[in-house]
Amino acid sequence: MATFLYKIGRISFRRRHFVALIWVALLTLAGVGAASAPAAGNSSFSIPGTEAQKAFDLLEQRFPGTSADGATARVVFKAPSGEKMTDPGNKATVQETVKELADGSEVVRVTDPYQAKAVSKDGTVAYAQVSYKVSGMELEDSSRDALEDSAQDARKAGLTVEIGGDALQTVPHTGTTEIIGIAVAAVVLVITFGSLIAAGLPLLTALIGVGIGVSSITALASALDLGSTTSTLAMMIGLAVGIDYALFIVSRYRAELAEGRDREEAAGRAVGTAGSAVVFAGLTVVIALVGLSVVNIPMLTKMGVAAAGTVAIAVLIALTMVPALLGYAGRKVKPAGEKGKLLGRAKKQEEQDKPVKPNLGTRWASFVVRRPVAVLLLGVVGLGTAAVPAGSLELGLPDDGSQPTSTTQRRAYDLLSEGFGPGFNGPLMVVVDAKDSDDPKAAFTAVGDEIKGLDDVVTVTPPAPNKAGDTATITVIPDSKPSSVATEDLVHSIRGKGAGIKADSDANVLVTGQTAMNIDVSEKLNDALIPYLVLVVGLAFLLLIVVFRSILVPLKAALGFLLSVMAALGAVVAVFQWGWLAGLMGVEQTGPVMSMMPIFMVGVVFGLAMDYEVFLVTRMREAYVHGEKAGQAVVTGFRHGARVVTAAAVIMMAVFAGFIGSSESMVKMIGFGLAIAVFFDAFVVRMAIVPAVLALLGRKAWWLPKWLDRALPNVDVEGEGLRSASGDQDKELVRA
């Protein structure tokens, strides 16, 4: 592989005009496609195989034209102090508001609180429910404006009016902190390279790669039903890996220049050596992201595949466009050890002749090699302590109750809880399929009676059959809030009763609704976590065996990843569930961690963790293969790679942390989780635990059974083929 990539690097350097033209053309094509593509709506959220989804599909068949997937809004009214909603003046205001709401072109129906008995027992709170033909993300701005204007008119009459539901759902924004993250990355690159030109190359290539990836996602969003979070995730990961991959190529290029090679040869060798590490690091990220498809949640699968595509683009750009731009830069990119005009001129000859003081990476690695046990214990205990909060992990999906208290959705949620009880915000819809029953009406009644006898039930509405009379819906109001364990137990209790009802009346009982769907999603994600771990870690383990030609090094890499991901989950729980540093992170409302967070973090963090493993340990193996002792190889690997890996980790943390400013709670949580995970993995696991373990193992770290060594393909990540070819060329020159 090293020889093949070496040729790509030289060709890209030599044919830089052609390479640059191709990538600019791709960026233009993707941009035009994104600009001309129809606007994408909200990604459909289906969970194949769950009972809630089966019930939802059945409703679509048996209750046609009801727009079961359409947006809803609850307009909640509260009377002024000392008054009731049944007072004539307040009643007239509400009815006028209902009339205004019904005039919308996208409105299917609006319920009158007084006819639907949607007035609290104490008479202080009432609500009107508005149903729309399309989903919340597809609603026209005029419909949202009409909804808010109607509420404002009622407020002028003296009522407190708030709006809940998904009708006000909008595309999330990431905020200015994303720009700050890129700015921090730029500063780190300038400090690392000491040159604006060298620092600008990774940023430029990363932005081009992300531009192509995100524009392609935008262009295909409508056709492939991709949600707004998909492009945000692709941007987040694409920026991080794009900058890092280019950073490693440019850094190796400068090191090759420092050894006296001409620029084209240095570009070829940089791509042949560091490029090999980029390819395998990128493959681990792609495996982890594409592996999300095993969960069988279409939205998560699409997010993973789209982000994986952006990572693949980042790898291709690092292998081709980076050497092409290095050709354009010429002498403006200095050899390693030389500083540009920005941070000082090159050293004088007498200064260069002085003994060079070991860099910080060398001194740290030497310390770890001398004290491996102490460093290992400190690292493991530290990560174990950070992981302690993960034992209190509570999973759930966000609803209006998790919104900031400053939003109208959250205030509407609180008013409904005040007037009708906490369970009113999470109603359960029981669907009774009595198509095979001899007496459907009796089956409907029997189901309602069974549910009334269960614990934690406040209200059970009469069955509402369809026109054919073979299917009915029953609304159940729990006594507990939607995200509580009691509500989850109630869902399982109703489903448990369904088996007996099926035996008695041949009627199927299904539970659906947003609350039941959230419960099913959480259980599905929990069930998929272990298979996903086995698949992703297993495939990456095999890949790393090929890269490092070792059994223990990949095993150590996987165990270190588990430590860092558990510590990161602990930090997420501490901030988003317990509320530690919540104000600093902009978390206005604590609550359960999003159900998909653990499995998503496992996938992304594993891929990124292997980046640092590959970049750092390949340098160690390169030194070991070329004759150094095991302990010295660790120090050599740090001397060449620690500075660059540190810069790469800081850059990746800055990019991820930039998304903490997002208005979308899922994006905010993912940004924080990935940033803290990179910190734990890069600075504790890869910089401390990994060298400590390798120092303790010595030569055994690189042991591989002879039969397996013969069976594995030789991918030559260390560039041994390039060294051999160079030696042959030198011999030919000597003979001449």
Q: Three-state SS string across 239-250, please?
A: HHHHHHHHHHHH
Tell me what pLDDT residue 49 has.
79
Contact 451, 474 (CB under 8 A): yes
| Mean pLDDT, residues 204-226 | 84
Angle at 454 between CA 450 and CA 459, to 5 degrees: 85
What is the reported pLDDT for 568?
93
- Is 27 a residue whose pLDDT tops 90? yes
8 Å CB contact between 655 and 672: no
Of 90-99, 194-203, 438-447, the one with minimum mean pLDDT is 194-203
> Residues 85, 91: contact at Cβ < 8 Å?
yes
Residue 570 and residue 565: Cα distance in Å, rounded? 9
* Count of C-beta atoms within a 10 Å radius of residue 343: 12
pLDDT at 170: 58
Q: First and final CA of the chain: distance in angstroms?
A: 30
Task: Tell me the C-alpha distance between 598 and 573, whole Å.
Answer: 11
CA distances from 42 to 33, 56, 136, 394 (A): 19, 18, 7, 27
pLDDT digits (tens, 9 = 90+) for 717-729: 666 666 655 544 4
Helices (H) and strands (E) in the chain, counts: 25, 11
pLDDT at 22: 95
Instruction: Indicate whether 733 pLDDT > 50.
Output: no
What are the Cα distances from residue 586, in Å, to 157, 316, 404, 672? 35, 36, 10, 11
Report for 216-230, 665-679, 682-696: range of highest mean pLDDT: 682-696
Q: Are 387 and 676 in contact (CB under 8 A)?
A: no
Instruction: Considering only residues 505 and 7, tell me which one the structure prediction assigns the higher pLDDT.
Output: 7
Question: Could you give the 3-state DSSP secondary structure of residue 376?
Answer: helix
pLDDT given at position 644: 82
Cα distances from 254 to residues 198, 245, 332, 338, 375, in angstroms, run: 9, 15, 11, 9, 32
pLDDT band at 349 (very low <50, low <70, confident <90, very high): very low
pLDDT given for residue 574 in this prediction = 93
pLDDT at 45 exceeding the cut of 70: no
pLDDT at 373: 94
Q: In degrees rounded to 5, what are phi and psi of residue 139?
A: -60, 140
Percent of the chain exceeding pLDDT 70 equals 89
CB 198 within 8 A of CB 334: yes
What is the token pair recorded at 183?
A: 């700015």
- pLDDT: which is higher, 173 or 693: 693
Contacts of 455 (CB under 8 A, 6+ apart): 490, 493
DSSP annotation of 462 reads P
CB 174 within 8 A of CB 662: yes
Lowest model confidence (mean pLDDT) among 294-308, 460-474, 630-644, 651-665: 651-665
Whether the predicted pLDDT of 646 surpasses 50? yes
| Contact (Cβ atoms closer than 8 angstroms) between residue 507 and residue 501 | yes
Contacts of 499 (CB under 8 A, 6+ apart): none
Nearest CA among 307, 177, 174, 289 for reference residue 667: 174
Burial class of 735 by CB neighbour count within 10 A (0 to 12, 13 to 18, 19+): exposed
Q: Of 101-115, 131-145, 303-317, 428-442, give the lowest mean pLDDT range.
A: 131-145
In this structure, what token pair is assigned to residue 228? Answer: 């707004």
Which of the listed ranges 170-184, 500-514, 661-675 does the model predict with the highest average pLDDT? Answer: 500-514
Q: In what order do the strands lie in the sheet with 72-78?
A: 107-110, 125-132, 72-78, 160-165
Query: Is a pLDDT exceeding 50 seen at residue 526?
Result: yes
The pLDDT of residue 387 is 93
Q: What is the mean pLDDT of residues 598-622?
A: 79
Residue 503's pLDDT is 80
Contact 189, 239 (CB under 8 A): no
Q: Is-contact 169 42, C-beta < 8 A? A: yes
Place of tokens 């069974």: 450
Other C-beta atoms closer than 10 Å to the C-beta of 523 total 15
Q: Tell me what pLDDT residue 610 has.
A: 75
Strands 107-110 and 125-132: antiparallel
Neighbours of 186 (CB within 10 A): 18
* Greatest mean pLDDT among 218-222, 429-433, 621-625: 429-433
Query: pLDDT band at 732, cuts 50/70/90?
Result: very low
- pLDDT value, residue 676: 93
What's the whole-number mean pLDDT along residues 172-187? 68
CA pair distance 552, 659, nearest whole angstrom: 36
The answer to whether residues 326 and 225 touch, using CB atoms and an 8 Å cutoff, is no
DSSP codes joined into one string, 1-42 = -HHHHHHHHHHHHHTHHHHHHHHHHHHHHHHHHHHHSPPP-P
Lowest mean pLDDT among 78-87, 148-157, 649-658: 649-658
Residues 624-638: what's their mean pLDDT? Answer: 86
Residue 119 DSSP class: B
Looking up tokens 């039941």 gives 516
> Looking at the predicted structure, is the pLDDT value of residue 24 above 80?
yes
> How confident is the model over 583-606, as pLDDT tens digits?
777 777 777 888 778 887 887 787
Q: What is the mean pLDDT of the chain?
A: 83
Closest alpha carbon to 466 in 41, 27, 64: 64
What DSSP letter does each residue of 494-545 carry, written as one string?
HHHHHHHHHHHH--EEEEESHHHHHHHHHHHHHHHHHHHHHHHHHHHHHHHH
CB burial class (10 A; 0-12, 13-18, 19+) of residue 18? exposed
Backbone angles phi, psi at 176, to 5 degrees: -75, -15
- Out of 79-88, 453-462, 530-539, 565-574, least confident range: 530-539
Amino acid code (one letter) for 393:
L
- CB–CB of 274/252 below 8 Å? yes
- Does 34 or 21 have the greater pLDDT score? 21
Find the angle CA(426)-CA(428)-CA(433) to the nearest 5 degrees. 165
Q: Per-residue pLDDT tens for 276-322?
A: 888 888 888 888 888 888 888 887 888 888 889 999 999 999 999 99
- The predicted model gives 403-419 an average pLDDT of 85
Return the number of other C-beta atoms located less than 10 Å from residue 534's C-beta: 11
Contact 396, 518 (CB under 8 A): yes
The strand pairing partners of 431, in sequence order, are 473, 510
| Residues with Cβ within 8 Å of residue 3, at least 6 apart in sequence | 272, 716, 721, 722, 725
Residue 459 confidence (pLDDT) above 50: yes
SS3 assignment, position 113: coil
Q: pLDDT band for position 376 (50/70/90)? A: very high
Task: Determine the Cα–Cα distance for residues 189 and 102; give it in Å rounded to an integer.
Answer: 57
Q: Judge contact between 656 and 240, C-beta under 8 A.
A: yes
pLDDT band at 367 (very low <50, low <70, confident <90, very high): very high
pLDDT of residue 396: 75
Beta strands 395-396 and 593-594: pairing type? parallel
pLDDT for res 161: 93
Largest CA distance in the chain: 109
Residue 265 dihedral angles phi and psi, to the nearest 5°: -65, -40
Task: Give the burial string for 278-288 (b: 16+ CB within 10 Å, else e).
Answer: bbbbbbbbbbb
- Can you tell me whether residue 577 is helix, strand or coil? helix
Flag whether pLDDT at 198 surpasses 50: yes
